[in-house]
């Protein structure tokens, strides 16, 4: 049986593929488990430089698998609550936390449908490159669910609370150009240029200062929960660590030698 999640790592680049193309990569219970396992594997590696998350076929992810959800409807309310809570806590939440805690940039390669948990997953990436045929929706309210995958934490931090309230409660669809305007996507390109655009971004990260990127990601993730003085202290400590590394020497020397820096990572 083909795995619902494919993970390939080569030359420091990890590519995680949502692999249920016939089902628009809808998140089944099996895929939740496989995604949790795959992200745990990524968390244990120390050779990564960048991670790309993509969907097989014509779509990124069209939300949760309603067939799997329907299979739970015969359960009592108490059993249903226990089943869904355990699944989210043990698999969905762990995947979200694993992506956030990775020390390397995570790029979302988004095309076609990006709905429900698919949108949560894209929001949890550090950058998103979207094809012009991508379309987005929170989708949860359409089936009477409140949201998962960190959507209630990530969405207001990206688009603001009022817009997040609108997108989550009304669940209207928006296109790639609106995603770009809102900051949900960093870049939108024609579908046939998507692979080239993602590869170019991957290349830039591969050539960059690996440990500096890790410090920057940590600072950005910590910032929403810190006071200004606490964040200033964290910045000072990270800055000092960066200044003591060889990549800082290389960056300064390259500037004065009028050449591009060749960071060692």
Is residue 20 scored above 70 in pLDDT? yes
The CATH label, of 1.10.1060, 3.40.50, 1.10.12, 1.10.3470, for the domain at 209-256 is: 1.10.12
Side-chain-facing half-sphere of 127: CA atoms under 13 Å: 18
> What phi, psi does 87 have (nearest 5°)?
-65, -45
Chain mean pLDDT for the chain: 96
What digits encode the pLDDT tens for the residues 124-148?
Answer: 999 999 999 999 999 999 999 999 9
Q: Where are the domains of the chain?
A: 5-206, 209-256
Task: Determine which helix (DSSP H) or strand (DSSP E) holds 211, and give its type and residue range.
Answer: helix 210-222
CA angle 134, 38, 34 (to 5 degrees): 80
Mean pLDDT score, 201-211: 97
For 5-206, give the CATH class: alpha beta
User: Can you give the pLDDT at residue 193?
Assistant: 98
Round the CA-based radius of gyration of the chain to a whole number and report it. Answer: 19
Gap between the Cα atoms of 82 and 258, Å rounded? 61
The pTM of the whole model exceeds 0.75: yes
User: Can you give the pLDDT at residue 1?
Assistant: 67
Gap between the Cα atoms of 142 and 169, Å rounded? 9
Torsion of CA 263, 212, 119, 21, to 10 degrees: 30
The set of residues, in sequence order, having a beta carbon less than 8 Å from that of 1 and lying 6+ positions away, is: none
């Amino acid at each position: 049986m083909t795995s619902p999640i494919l993970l390939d790592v080569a030359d420091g680049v990890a590519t995680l593929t949502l692999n249920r193309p016939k089902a628009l990569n809808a998140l089944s219970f099996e895929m939740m488990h496989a995604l949790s396992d795959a992200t745990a594997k990524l968390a244990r590696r120390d050779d990564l430089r960048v991670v790309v998350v993509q969907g097989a076929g014509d779509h990124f992810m069209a939300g949760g698998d309603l067939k799997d959800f329907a299979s739970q409807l015969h359960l009592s309310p108490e059993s249903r609550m226990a089943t869904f809570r355990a699944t989210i806590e043990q698999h969905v939440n762990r995947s979200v936390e694993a992506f956030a805690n990775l020390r390397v940039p995570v790029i979302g390669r988004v095309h076609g449908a990006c709905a429900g948990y698919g949108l949560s997953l894209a929001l949890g990436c550090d950058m998103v490159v979207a094809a012009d045929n991508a379309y987005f929706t929170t989708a949860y309210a359409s089936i009477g669910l409140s949201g998962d995958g960190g959507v209630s934490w990530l969405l207001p931090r990206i688009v603001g609370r009022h817009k997040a309230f609108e997108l989550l409660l009304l669940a209207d669809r928006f296109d790639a150009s609106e995603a770009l305007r809102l900051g949900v996507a960093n870049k939108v390109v024609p579908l046939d240029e998507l692979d080239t655009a993602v590869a170019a971004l991957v290349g830039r990260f591969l050539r960059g200062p690996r440990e500096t990127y890790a410090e920057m990601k940590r600072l950005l993730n910590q910032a929403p929960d810190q006071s200004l003085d606490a964040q200033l202290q964290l910045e000072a400590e990270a800055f000092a660590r960066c200044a003591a590394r060889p990549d800082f020497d290389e960056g300064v020397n390259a500037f004065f030698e009028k050449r591009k820096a060749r960071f060692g990572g």
